[in-house]
Amino acid sequence: MKKNALTLTVVANMTSNYSEGLGNIASVQKVFKNRKVYTIRSRESLKNAVMVQAGMYDDLQTEVDGATQKLVTPELNAATCRALEGGYMSTKGTTYVRKSSVYFTDAIACESFVNETRFHNNLYLAGNYAKAQGKNIQNDADGVGLMPYQYEYDKSLKVYSMTVDLDMVGKDENFDAEASPEEKAARIEALLRAVETLSLVVKGNLDNAEPVFVVGGLSERKTHYFENVVHVEEDRLLMSEDLKEKIAQGYHAGLLKSKVFLNENEIEEELHPMSVPGFFNTLVEDVKAYYGV
């Protein structure tokens, strides 16, 4: 079978995204599984962050037709516009639907959630306003806009997967259009470089979400091939026989030597990983070879 998919599973130390607030408390997004609660960064949030950092949305154009949606025309389609690589549904006039060629899973925490609420206020801003208005912040807190607020905080090891349908990249069957092999390879390289150096801004704070462990490569199966075999327990990467057997089928592993994993030496001895930059450089070259560029 032809290897026409790119799949990778990442372990990264990242924050969660936020869902609905409870009163004035911002709550991180969570899922319930295995009778426990785990924090997540949703697949939608993760895909958006990667697409933005990769520059894939730099040429995004939108329109309002009942709902705000991506602009699609015979001239502006997935072959000519990188922003449409992530899929679209255009309902203006004739309805056109093109599925995404890039798929993500939720980034789910490796350990169950322990509630940590952080308490903040805008004291400095309120004090600055009070001083300018000649008011006393202690006697007139409401009048100067003093406002306490709280939010749940989570930054933990999370596991997520990304899979790309290489046959679908740069093609738009709705308009019988197709990008050049060079453009297809460039799009995948941009996505890989974004995952390699992923950085998030959450609640005004910069979050380094780069991989500390990553595994994957070109695959015959268009699925998250390593999703079920990459697990972390008590800061140790589980070295299962299934993980080793899958890697041995022509895949690669990358490790950031950061002492994040307590069994870092075991990982090196049993998986023989390359560096994280080396891993992504190898995948970029594999993708270029696939497209013949």
CA-based nearest residue to 28, from 120, 116, 90, 95: 116
- Do strands 36-41 and 171-172 pair parallel, antiparallel, or not at all (unpaired)? unpaired
pLDDT tens across 266-275, in order?
999 999 999 9
Report the pLDDT value the prediction gives residue 186, as an integer from 0 to 100. Answer: 98
Alpha-carbon distance of 146 to 127, in angstroms, equals 8
Alpha-carbon distance of 138 to 180, in angstroms, equals 66
Report the pLDDT value the prediction gives residue 139, as an integer from 0 to 100. Answer: 78
Report the pLDDT value the prediction gives residue 153, as an integer from 0 to 100. Answer: 86
| Residues whose CB falls within 8 Å of the CB of residue 34, separated by 6 or more in sequence, listed in order | none
pLDDT in tens, the chain (293 residues): 789 999 999 999 999 998 777 667 788 899 998 899 999 999 999 999 999 999 999 999 999 877 889 999 999 999 999 999 999 999 888 899 999 999 999 999 999 998 878 888 888 898 898 889 888 888 777 788 888 888 888 899 999 999 999 999 999 999 999 999 999 999 999 999 999 999 998 877 889 999 999 999 999 999 999 999 999 999 999 999 999 999 999 999 999 999 999 999 999 999 999 999 999 999 999 999 999 99
pTM confidence score: 0.91
CB burial class (10 A; 0-12, 13-18, 19+) of residue 60? middle
| Residues whose CB falls within 8 Å of the CB of residue 240, separated by 6 or more in sequence, listed in order | 229, 231
Instruction: Pull the structure tokens for residue 86.
Output: 């992530």
Report the pLDDT value the prediction gives residue 181, as an integer from 0 to 100. Answer: 98
* Helix ranges restricted to H, the chain: 43-53, 123-133, 181-196, 241-247, 264-271, 276-291
